[in-house]
Amino acid sequence: MIQRFEDYERTEKELRFMKVVALGLLDAQKGDTTSVEQARGALGLE
């Protein structure tokens, strides 16, 4: 099946998003999390 380039790009973006979500869920299951305060500090938002 041939797909349009725009469809291919959208599929690639969706797969990357799903991978990041899955990795985040694995981190959360392992207890490897960051508090909101820690994240804000790391981003310089305090």
Q: State the Cα angle at 42 between 34 and 16, rounded to 5°.
A: 65
pTM of the predicted model as reported, rounded to 2 decimal places: 0.67
- Looking at residue 11, its pLDDT comes to 97
Q: pLDDT tens across 6-40, in order?
A: 999 999 999 999 999 999 999 999 999 999 999 99
Residue 1 above 90 pLDDT? no
**CA atoms of 39 and 36, how far apart (whole Å):** 5
What is the per-residue pLDDT for 10?
A: 97
pLDDT at 26: 97
Per-residue pLDDT band for 46 (boundaries 50, 70, 90) equals: confident
For residue 19, what is the enclosing H or E element? helix 5-30
